[in-house]
């Protein structure tokens, strides 16, 4: 199952990243006052992911799951699905040399592969290898 996800992540991530990049670029170009709020929320999501990753390093996935009474995996999945859009938002708004689609989309595809491996790691630690 994981191998299937890894093989599908590249084309699907490319298409989704490209669509999301175009939508966010349009929104920021049309209504520039949204960029401040988009950037703030993206930084917050990335900060939460860094905190989660740090907790995994120091406590372990199983301990986090036990401490949160089973709520950890739900929180992890929420952060998992919000991390790539947050990453793209920061690329578009803050990093000027990466805000072209032909640069930002391949960078986000590479980042999405890393996120998929991270999700597989967490899933295997909680539920075992399938």
How does pLDDT run along the chain (130 residues), one tens digit per residue? 667 767 888 899 999 999 999 999 898 888 888 889 999 999 999 999 999 999 999 999 999 999 999 899 999 999 999 999 999 999 888 887 777 888 889 999 999 999 988 988 999 888 887 6
Contact 59, 75 (CB under 8 A): no
pLDDT at 80: 93
Flag whether 117 is in a domain: yes
- Please check whether residue 4 lies inside any domain of the structure: no
b/e string for 58-89 if b means 16 or more Cβ within 10 A?
eeebeebbeeeeeebbeebeebbebbbbbbbb
Name the residue with tokens 């930002």.
104
In a domain, 55, yes or no: yes
Residue 121 domain-assigned? yes
**CA 46 – CA 51 distance, rounded (Å):** 9
- Rounded Cα gap, residues 2 and 71, in angstroms: 23
* pLDDT value, residue 19: 94
Count of structural domains within the chain: 1
Q: Is residue 111 part of a domain?
A: yes
What is d(CA 117, CA 68) in angstroms, rounded to the nearest whole number? 23
Q: Does residue 2 lie within any of the structural domains?
A: no
Query: Domain range holding 43?
Result: 9-127
* pLDDT score recorded for residue 58: 95
- Residue 83 maps to a domain: yes
Write down the pTM of the prediction.
Answer: 0.85
Residue 57 lies in a domain: yes
d(CA 101, CA 106): 8
pLDDT of residue 2: 64
């Amino acid at each position: 199952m994981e191998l299937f996800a890894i093989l599908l992540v590249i084309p699907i991530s490319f298409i989704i990243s490209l669509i999301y990049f175009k939508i966010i670029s349009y929104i920021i170009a049309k209504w520039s006052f949204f960029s401040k709020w988009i950037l703030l929320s993206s930084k917050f999501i990335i900060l939460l992911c860094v905190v989660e990753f740090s907790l995994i390093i120091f406590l372990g996935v199983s301990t986090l799951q036990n401490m949160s009474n089973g709520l950890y995996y739900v929180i992890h999945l929420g952060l998992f699905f919000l991390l790539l859009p947050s990453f793209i938002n920061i690329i578009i708004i803050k990093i000027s040399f990466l805000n072209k689609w032909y640069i930002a989309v391949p960078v986000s595809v590479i980042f999405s592969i890393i996120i998929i491996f991270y999700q597989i790691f967490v899933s295997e630690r909680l539920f075992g290898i399938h």
